[in-house]
Amino acid sequence: MPDLLELLNTVTRHREHEEESAFDSLASVRKWLNALPAESDYETFQALVEGLERFNAETVEANAERLKVLMAIEEAGLPLQSRVAEHYIRVINQPSLRLGRQTLWRKSSAFWSLLAAAWTNMLKHAYKGPAHLELKPWRVAIATRAMRYSGHAMRWGYHRSDLPSEAAWQRIQKIFRLVERGGHAQTAVTLNARETSCAREFSLVVLLGLTNPVGFKTEEIESIAQMLDSFADLPLPQTSFESDRHTHAIDLSIFEGAFALDGNQPAGERLRYFDLAPLVEHLLSFAPQSNDEDEDCLPRRVAKLISRGILRRSRQRTRRFGRVWVASGVANIMATLLGTQYGKPHKGLERWTLRDESAEGMGFGLEESTVMPHGRLVAVSSNPSEDTWQLLAIRWNQKVGGQLLVGAQRLSRHPKRVEIGFAPEADAAKAATHAVLLPTGDSGQGESNLLMPQTHYRAGARMMLRDGDVIYGVRLGQVHESHERWVRVGLDVLSREQFAAAA
């Protein structure tokens, strides 16, 4: 019996050693790649995706050798994915191959997501890991790869009409800002035998998002991506605004796509600007595919969507024409919520024309001369004498037919004006002030948010929050968005007690 147990232990150790050593060195990963099943491209690709998943699951500190291992996996996987994608597009319109089509999509989507995660993790180690000095010469190349493959993962989500999450936008924006701060956003990197840069890959992600890709067929999405990639002088993000040149912008603080400009500089500290006029002109130069003047070819359709700057909404909107009361800007919102508490509505309210509404927001029609920057906060109510205010943020606007059409995203259905102050052990010298509580569920992330003055924000700080007769002990989370020297932050509730007991 001891001999049998010893034999089993030897086999187990041998298998564990094989699994652990597969990605230990460039030689071991090449041996593993050569041993992948070769019956078909799909079988090989499936095994490679599973291996990439194991690579990401390993809790190993990154170094130059592990970087070479990942590059070897990438080199082997890219041509395989390309051939699998070609097959996927060929069978996309064949109903009899529905299950096979779904399998091909899942494997390709997993490949891009895993590759993006692998390079993003490598980037973290290149800046903060034990071997960060060893990896420093590779930082720009690593970041460019992380950006490229994160964009590819988003693109394959479009095939299934999945819009990128806030986390997806946050990832690519953080990568771009990281490289931009180092002054290497436009540093040339060779990928797949072509020269590119982190800024160029970022632009490709942003531009594809502007075309409303979920409104196109799978083969059209891939054609649009190739069309944009083939444009030699691709517009790159700029930090300085020029009203006579820039047509679009993206806000790196709100984790969503770009929007069209109206000639006025929008408010925001992390805005990057694009001049898309040359690209639009190039796409419009393509001739229609038929003699029907009303039928546009794909490039011309894309050009018009980019020029319009308004994405097709992912949620059905209901027409709701009518007039509502609006408090615009943080100061008016705070005064209005205070007045509501005492039954005296704020006098500075405006009357806006409501056009439509969905579960996510509202659309308004305003005077064409109205200035309404992106990110501006508004509180909306149909009856200001009741405590029925909703808090929204302006996300897009466009002048059409003598009107300014405005779209706003709902942040909270039940905003509350509250009093906040630092816990005595945190900062007794800082005076208490007022903020707006956005209760749990309104953020869509399962946490409460707090709209508070930027002067009082410290990441991770403990504060006391008073809502009526209840006092909460809270801890501040990360900043989700900035508004007029105020910040909207995540919030963890640590304790709760009645005011009388606390006193």
Query: pLDDT by residue (tens digit) across 464-503?
Result: 999 888 898 888 887 877 787 888 888 888 888 876 554 4
Q: What is the dihedral sign for C-alpha 319, 324, 327, 328?
A: positive
- Model confidence at 1: pLDDT above 50: no
Going by pLDDT thresholds of 50, 70 and 90, the confidence category of residue 81 is very high
User: What is the distance between the terminal CA atoms of the chain, rounded to a whole angstrom?
Assistant: 72
pTM: 0.62
Query: pLDDT by residue (tens digit) across 373-413?
Result: 878 899 999 887 777 899 998 887 777 778 888 888 888 88
- Model confidence at 326: pLDDT above 60: yes
Q: Round to whole Å and give the CA distance between 221 and 158.
A: 8
Lowest mean pLDDT among 29-38, 96-105, 346-355: 96-105
Query: pLDDT by residue (tens digit) across 12-62?
Result: 444 444 445 489 999 999 999 999 998 899 999 999 999 999 999 998 899
Residue 434: strand pairing partners: 419
For the record, the structure tokens of 365 come out as: 């029609």
DSSP state at residue 293: T
> 């399962």: which residue's tokens?
446
Q: Round to whole Å and give the CA distance between 381 and 390.
A: 7
Going by pLDDT thresholds of 50, 70 and 90, the confidence category of residue 128 is very high
DSSP for 86-141, written as a single string: HHHHHHTT-GGGHHHHHHHHHHHHHHHHHHHHHHHHHHHHHHHSTTHHHHGGGHHH
| pLDDT at site 419 | 92
Mean pLDDT along residues 192-212:
94
Query: pLDDT by residue (tens digit) across 410-453?
Result: 888 889 999 999 876 655 556 789 999 998 554 444 567 899 99
Helix (H, G, I), strand (E, B) or coil at 257: coil
| pLDDT at site 133 | 96
